[in-house]
A and B are shown apart, each in its own frame.
Chain A
Amino acid sequence: NAGVTQTPKFRILKIGQSMTLQCTQDMNHNYMYWYRQDPGMGLKLIYYSVGAGITDKGEVPNGYNVSRSTTEDFPLRLELAAPSQTSVYFCASSYSTAPGDYIYFGEGSWLTVV
């Protein structure tokens, strides 16, 4: 199993451009998440999904959109990129929210907006 795979690993965007961060998991997990991590800060939840076709906002959703058309994929769309979106983005997944079922993280995507 590859686990949680994110692409691209690194990307530089100009202000106002748009892009999509791809995330796929091969563990048949129902729950998927997007977090962002800024230097010296904890991870903040952007969006999450409890299954195909169902998504909801997390703590910091502004400037982002998601979709979940399949169980495996959970892309994160950045519209009109701003310098404040410079961050490291982590996709994650879990089978359920039951006690003992922990969340697996991808390797991260480093995004710089200039």
Chain B
Amino acid sequence: EDQVTQSPEALRLQEGESSSLNCSYTVSGLRGLFWYRQDPGKGPEFLFTLYSAGEEKEKERLKATLTKKESFLHITAPKPEDSATYLCAVQEGTSYGKLTFGQGTILTVHP
């Protein structure tokens, strides 16, 4: 059974204070690991897909990395508008696009 665990559950940062979110996963045959951002009262918004260990992707202040057991979402010099819940999900090789999600990390960035 695919499992995804995110840590920490909640993270409070000061504006400009860089940090990382962790996503540990267990899956038989990773097809893709996805990061989504979710704002209160909204649906998840796609950020990144990673496919193989060693891969990295960047978007503005966010950088996602992948190893064989976990993924990190690095946030560099965050701003208050980066406050959101960040969701990690994995797609197993034969899962017809189905995603297994972690519980999310609630990020709050204070000015």
Contact = CB atoms under 8 A, between A and B. Distances in A.
Contacts of B41: 107-108
B36 to A, nearest CB: 8
B43 A48 contact: no
Contact of A94 (B31, B36, B87, B97): B97
A104 B98 CA distance: 12
Interface residues of A, number: 29
A33 B97 CA distance: 9
Q: Which of B49, B97, B103 counts the most chain A CB atoms within 10 A?
A: B97
Contacts of B32: 99
B97 A42 contact: no
Contacts of B59: none
Interface in A64-114: 90, 92, 94, 96-97, 99-108
Nearest to A31: B97
Given A90-B43, A97-B96, A108-B43, A102 B49 contact: yes
Given A99-B51, A108-B41, A43 B96 contact: no
Contacts of A100: 49
B101 to A, nearest CB: 3
B104 A103 contact: no
Interface string B7-42: 001000000000000000000000110101000011
A50 interface: yes
B42 A102 contact: no
Given A31-B96, A41-B103, A97-B97, A105 B87 contact: no
B84 interface: no
A45 B49 contact: no
Interface of B: 4, 9, 31-32, 34, 36, 41-46, 49, 51, 87, 89, 91, 95-104
Given A97-B91, A97-B97, A103-B99, 5 more contacts: A4-B43, A40-B103, A42-B89, A58-B98, A105-B44
